[in-house]
Amino acid sequence: MIPVLENNYIEFDLNIKSNDKNEIFRLNLLRNQLRWLNSNKKEVFSKSKILYNLYKENKLPLNVKNRCCNFMLLEEKCMEYNKKELIAI
């Protein structure tokens, strides 16, 4: 789970047609990943929520915590970034 607001990302169409071999490979990879995520949505969400809470409560084993993102720092930086974006507009 990486904190982003709706104005921090763009959606794009995975159904576009291309003749570029690399682009076809990339689109197929993205489609497969999306298909897998959609079919495992509940489990992914549940596990990510558990991980987030354990990290936040400092209850993760050190070897796991060392491989995790610093969620609180990411949330803080996301808010800072969006405040700067609002000021710039």
What total number of domains does the chain contain?
Answer: 1
Residue 45: give the domain boundaries. 19-88
> What CA–CA distance (Å, rounded) separates 27 from 29?
5
Rounded-to-integer distance, Cα 76 and Cα 69, Å: 13
- For residue 83, is it within any domain? yes
Establish if 12 belongs to a structural domain.
no
Report whether 69 contacts 51 (CB < 8 A).
no
User: Which helix (H) or strand (E) segment is 13 a member of?
Assistant: none
Look up the pTM and report it. 0.74
Q: What is the pLDDT along the chain (89 residues), one digit of tens a residue?
A: 677 888 888 888 999 999 999 999 999 999 999 999 999 999 999 999 999 999 999 999 999 999 999 999 999 999 999 887 667 65
Is 2 part of a structural domain of the chain?
A: no
One-character DSSP codes across 46-60: HHHHHHHHHHHTT-S
